[in-house]
Amino acid sequence: MPPLAYFGYGSNMLRLRLLARNVVLLDQGQPAVAEGFKLVFNKASIDGSSKANLTPATGEKVWGVLFTVGSGSLNDLDKAEGAPDHYRREHGIRVQSSIGAAKAMTYLAQPDKILPASGQPYDWYLALVLAGAIGYPGIPRKWLAHLRQLANPKPDLKQPPRKTFTEAVAQLKTAGHENWQGLLLSDTIQQ
């Protein structure tokens, strides 16, 4: 099976997160936009929060990162995304990047995991999304502001902290975001 074009639009925009999930990336990734979709935080998570999802929407667009993924990593991506129970693979998503148009695979929430209205992601999850987007200067600053307004994150107060929280914070710190909570504030995002 040949390498796979993969469009990450949520926390998987953060390259370090994919690498921590044992995904073999064959490039650094590049900013890309998927037209005809909008990003929503309406995927119900088992941790009581919501995660990013794409929904078809005429005239809308979603910024993300286009990666070339080693074909042997598809199972690792599926595992990380909870596929096929929580997300499903969607092939043939048209994306536009600086090197032209491409068809990519991405993940969409399974219909039975979609909340009736947009939910609230945890603050650490939104920080992962923002950190990923900040890593690619071609993603417009306006998109970062849009993500912050759209998400309306909530703190993850579970004690002791859940494994996903500690892993996310470690990934954020490794990516250079020691003060990851600052990513949630509009005036701290630099590009």
Please report the pLDDT score of residue 187 as a whole number: 52
Q: The pTM is what? A: 0.95
- DSSP conformation letters of the chain: ---EEEEE-SGGGSHHHHHHTT--BSS--EEEEEEEEEEEEEEEPTTSSEEEEEEEEEEEEEEEEEEEE-GGGHHHHHHHHTTTTSEEEEEEEEEEETTEEEEEEEEEE-GGGB-SS----BHHHHHHHHHHHHT-TTS-HHHHHHHHHHH--B----SSPPHHHHHHHHHHHHTT-TTGGGGGSGGG---
Q: Per-residue pLDDT tens for 52-74?
A: 999 999 999 999 999 999 989 99
- Calculate mean pLDDT across residues 92-102: 96
Percent of the chain at pLDDT exceeding 70: 97
pLDDT (mean) for 182-188: 78
pLDDT confidence of residue 61: 98
Mean pLDDT on 121-134: 98
Q: Name the average pLDDT for the chain.
A: 95
The Cα–Cα gap between 76 and 102 comes to 23
**Do residues 46 and 114 touch, judged by C-beta distance below 8 A?**
no
Reported confidence tier of residue 190, pLDDT bands at 50, 70, 90:
very low
Total Cβ atoms within 10 A of residue 182? 13
pLDDT given at position 191: 41
The pLDDT, as a whole number, for residue 1 is 78
Tokens describing residue 91: 């092939």
* Rounded Cα gap, residues 99 and 82, in angstroms: 31
Give the phi and the psi of residue 153 in degrees, each rounded to 5. -70, 160
pLDDT digits (tens, 9 = 90+) for 11-35: 999 999 999 999 999 999 999 999 9
Q: What pLDDT sits at residue 15?
A: 97
Taking only the tens place, the pLDDT of each residue in 141-164 is: 999 999 999 999 999 999 999 999
Structural contact between residues 122 and 172, judged by C-beta atoms closer than 8 angstroms: no
